[in-house]
Amino acid sequence: MNFKQNSEDTLRVIIVGHVDHGKSTLIGKLLSDLNQIQEEKINDIKKICKTRGLKFEWAFLLDALKTERDQGITIDTTQIFFRSDRRNYVFIDAPGHKEFLKNMITGATSAQLAILIIDGLEGIQEQTKRHVFLLSLLGIKDVIVVINKMDLINYDKNKFADLEAQISKYLKSINIKITAIIPISAWNGDNIVRKKTLRWYKGKVLLEVLDQFKDNAVDHGMPLRFVVQDIYKISEKRILVGRVESGKLKKKSKYVISPSNTKVSIKSFEIWPKSTKNEYVTGECIGLELNEKIFVEKGNVLSEITRSPSLTNTFEARIFWFSNQRLRINKKYKIKINTTDYEIIFSKIKKIINIDDLTEKKNDDVEKNNVADVLIDSESILCIDNFELVNNTGKFSVIDQFEVVGGGVVKSASKSELIDSHIRINENVKSEDFFVNEIDRVLKVGHRPGILWLTGLSGSGKSTIAKEVEKKLFLKGYNIFSLDGDNLRQGLNRDLDFMPESRVENIRRTAEVASLFVSAGFIVLISLISPYKVDRNKARAIRPEVFKEIFIKASIEECEKRDVKGLYAKARSGRIKNFTGITAPYEEPNKPELIIDTEKNGILECSKMLEKFVEKEFGKK
């Protein structure tokens, strides 16, 4: 069956509801009444039913798996392509059993509209509420409700009205808009394509409601989010391939790439077959070439300069848990968001929500099929949005050992002050383009550039380890350079003291110099106490895609024993003010990419740990 040409945009519709309420039957009868099922196919199903001693079911037209026919349930998520006189459709038949909720959510992620089916005999069941609650989590706000099996209750007006009132109240409580509530008989085809004469029902049939539905999801007033899915090098072009998740992408506009927050502009759109369009909108997949030769990675986000995504490594989320294993606080999981995986931990369970009556309870025990509000900490900086602002960059899946164990949406991702906008984006300063760019240098040296930020107390061993690793990797052919805090304070940062505001500027300058080295294709080892988390986060945000925080761990007692420079003795006597660990605090990293404990390991072992880490993350291929 071919889709119509020159028709309206294809509408993707998911059908949800409790098991055996008639989802597959509804789709099968709809296709039959639209004459879009071959007679031979129907006859084949009838023969199979006769052989097995089963009553013919319209649902069998969709249940492609033998397991489904034997058990009479839909296990997988089935997609059905068809057309009406008005438009093209993709119907997604989602499983109703609790065990297959993960499949249902997979199907719902791409849908624009939902049909909720309710059995007129059984009424609203547990899974009915569970499914629509999940739809609201996934950003589907428009639902057509069909009350099925009306023929089995003699088209009872009062029974219909009672169910209509119940479901309307629940949908309103979770902010879902009801497009229509329709009494149907999926088996007979009443009020699906043709109207069943009922004196008390004056509404439209299902097909009319579908044909007239206007999708408001493509909102051109939304902030632009173009998520990079991959990067291809074709001849001299570096083409960023991705999808416009929201907003509008224009050729002549200025944009910013996050998380590095580098200003860029589009040189050309790359699409097959060739197109003369100068702008692309929500839902369109394209390739593009930038005028600027900068380092871009999978998962980076292109946005408007004044409406960029939040850059953060901690946020509040609402999750739905699939796994038989309970969620564990502080265990490492991965989330997949914006085409990329990130390591995270759940640092706090704020509350668990009862889907039936929407009551809340305080509980750290998140079990299978629970909905919970949680705090999430990430090891990397994420480019995300509050789900209510931009759905597609505000939802994610949770992965444990290659298995999807949950899904969620971002409830609160405040814009962290990780980027100093007046420094990173200045309209009066224009960058110069050079003939040799960062990509050229990477290709020549054969390894990725990177920043290894060694933080720890004075005397912990930062400089010693950095010098040893620099020597080893240099002899292996790496472009590598050490930036040491003491050396920088004798030159570039000689005008800075050790007061908090000067420490902030010391770190900023060092990070900017490191960024220049990265652009030159170098791996940079930075040995800097950098005592405050917020300042290290700002340093990371300058080049987050290549930044690795290394915690050189040693106790204050051990460092004071070593005191190779005599600094602790001076601090104790009051001759050095604001000395970290004595008269000024040191904030240990929460989630460094690597911890090297110099109390438990010798210098050679510690150096080997860092050397292996560098080769793994940035090494020659």
Task: Please state the separation of Cα 206 from the chain's center in Å.
Answer: 34
Cis omega before residue 273 (within 30°)?
yes
The residues facing 552 across adjacent strands are 596
- Cα(117)–Cα(204) distance, rounded to whole angstroms? 16
Question: Cβ(255)–Cβ(297) under 8 Å?
Answer: no
User: Which residues lie below 8 Å from residue 170, measured CB to CB, with a gap of 6+?
Assistant: 124, 129, 132
SS3 for 511?
Answer: helix
Question: Cβ(207)–Cβ(194) under 8 Å?
Answer: no
CB burial readout 175-189, b (16+ within 10 A) else e = ebeebbbbbbbbbeb
Amino acid at 392: N
Q: Is residue 83 exposed (0-12), middle (13-18) or buried (19+ Cβ within 10 Å)?
A: middle
Angle at 293 between CA 443 and CA 263, to 5 degrees: 145
The set of catalytic residues is 530
- Cα(285)–Cα(339) distance, rounded to whole angstroms? 13
Query: CA separation (Å) from 413 to 371, 377, 505?
Result: 19, 11, 26
- The secondary element (H helix, E strand) that includes residue 173 is helix 157-173
- Cα(327)–Cα(347) distance, rounded to whole angstroms? 11
Angle at 290 between CA 287 and CA 293, to 5 degrees: 130
- Cα(111)–Cα(480) distance, rounded to whole angstroms? 49
Q: Is residue 101 exposed (0-12), middle (13-18) or buried (19+ Cβ within 10 Å)?
A: buried
SS3 for 540?
Answer: helix
Nearest C-alpha neighbor of 259 from the set 382, 389, 390, 394: 382
SS3 for 81?
Answer: strand
- Cα(59)–Cα(280) distance, rounded to whole angstroms? 39
Question: Cβ(91)–Cβ(13) under 8 Å?
Answer: yes
- Cα(317)–Cα(396) distance, rounded to whole angstroms? 10
Amino acid at 414: S
3-state secondary structure labels for all residues of 283-301: CCEEEEEECCCCCCCCCCE
- Cα(614)–Cα(569) distance, rounded to whole angstroms? 35
Nearest C-alpha neighbor of 412 from the set 485, 488, 318: 318
Angle at 472 between CA 537 and CA 563, to 5 degrees: 60
- Cα(202)–Cα(181) distance, rounded to whole angstroms? 11
Q: Are strands 523-527 and 480-484 parallel, antiparallel or unpaired?
A: parallel
Question: Cβ(28)–Cβ(59) under 8 Å?
Answer: yes
Tokens 């901690």 correspond to: 314
Number of Cβ atoms within 10 Å of the Cβ of 5: 6
